[in-house]
Amino acid sequence: MTDPNQPTYDLILSGGTVLDPASGLNARRDVAIRGDRIAAIDTGLSAPGAKVVDCTGSTVVPGLVEGHSHIFEQVSKVGAPADEAHLRRGVVAVADAGTAGASTFAAFQRVVVEGNAMRVVNFLNVSVLGLIDFRFGELLNPDTLVVDDALEVAAANPDVVRGFKIRLSEDVVGPNWMSLLKKSIELAEQARLPLMVHIGETEEPLPVVLEQLRPGDIVAHCYTGKPHGILDDDKVLAQVLEARERGVLFDSAHGRSNLSFNVARQAIACGFLPDILSSDTSARNWRGPVFDLVTSIAKLVALGAPLDECIRRATVAPAELLGLAGEGYGRLEVGGRADVTVLTETSEVELPDASGNVITAPRLEPTTVVHEGALVETTPWRGEATA
Ligand SMILES: [Zn+2]
């Protein structure tokens, strides 16, 4: 006989430390799930017939939100597999950062947005071509920045287009970088959306770029080891701190060539954490050195960033930036989305950055991933295979 007073749950994540930066909860709790909703967050939860996952010793966080990735693999040589490198590694919502441009957006919508279980949004590349192939800069022909085309796609797809992206590296924009940046900011202003600006090998020092940016615009690759980064010797540039003060955001966006442990360690020691902690996963790096978002988090933790601050920057912070907080992403709450990632610290391994350095530190492994109330089949870390 079933006791009518006994709660009914489908799944209980039992005994882990629940870390939810949105609410400030950081304590040992059980998380009970019914259907696609969180039914309870409390101690001592049980229900007859519920599947119980023992999370003792692990950290239970909201389903991760990846603020910068590349997942348009069907059209772009840059795209990583969406499911394998994201959902199966604990990410439930993802922003593609400029792989699609206005001319390829329809395919992006059909294949990536509609074709994935994850919630997908994007930063639309200001070049109509998008980022098809790393070998050929998408803005070397400046005429590919067609304001009307970008505006039209953004206006017609407000549920997906959450900003624009320009890559300012010299090999992408050539000598026209300032006029292209100004045109991109005008475009973003007209659409009332943020502009994400990729730095690393820009022609001019970073302060010249920062001067142009508006509050809410995003600097991607803030820990790049390439010339014209955020550091001046061992200090964060005053102009970088001033830009942050007036609302310019900084995204870590690891990528194949834009995370230097030396820069990150120094910046973290100065108290400079990224506003958004993202992986910039792509076809070139998802088998290493980036691997995935959880490994990007583990690297910054190993360099001294507090775990709760890192989780905030990979859950509620990007959810708010991307307009996904209203859909319940990035937080754990009773009645909210049953999207949960359970992170378990591994033994120490060698973790590479993008500048040829290695640290020995524990990884974070997404040992259990729940998406819309259902357990996701996870994939193993790619690192050992390539070691
Ligand atoms: Zn990127």
Query: Domain segments of the chain: what residues?
Result: 64-327
Mean pLDDT by groups of 10 residues along the chain of 387 residues? 79 98 98 98 96 98 98 94 96 98 98 97 98 94 97 98 95 92 98 95 91 98 94 95 98 93 97 98 94 97 98 98 98 98 96 94 98 97 68
Q: List b or e across 369-382, with b for residues whose CB sees 16 or more CB atoms inside 10 angstroms.
A: bbbebeebebeebb
CATH number of 64-327: 3.20.20.140
* 221 in a known ligand binding site: yes
So what's the pLDDT on residue 290? Answer: 94
- Is 371 annotated to bind a ligand? Reply is no
Gap from CA of 73 to ligand 1 centroid (Å): 14
Residues 6+ apart with CB under 8 A from 334: 38, 39, 40, 41
pLDDT of residue 6: 81
245 CA → ligand 1 middle, Å: 24
| Confidence (pLDDT) at 203 | 85
68 marked ligand binding residue: yes
First to last CA, the chain: 55
Task: Note the pLDDT of residue 387.
Answer: 41
280 appears as a binding residue in the annotation:
yes
What spacing in Å lies between the alpha carbon of 233 and ligand 1's midpoint? 26
Residue 203's Cβ-side half-sphere holds a number of Cα atoms within 13 Å equal to 13
pLDDT for 200:
84
Distance in Å, CA 131 to ligand 1 centroid = 9
Residue 219 C-alpha to ligand 1 middle, in angstroms?
Answer: 11
The confidence score (pLDDT) of residue 202 equals 86
Q: How far is the CA of 282 from the centre of ligand 1 (A)?
A: 7
Task: State how far the Cα of 233 lies from the Cα of 241, in Å rounded to an integer.
Answer: 15
Query: 252 CA distance to ligand 1 centroid (A)?
Result: 10
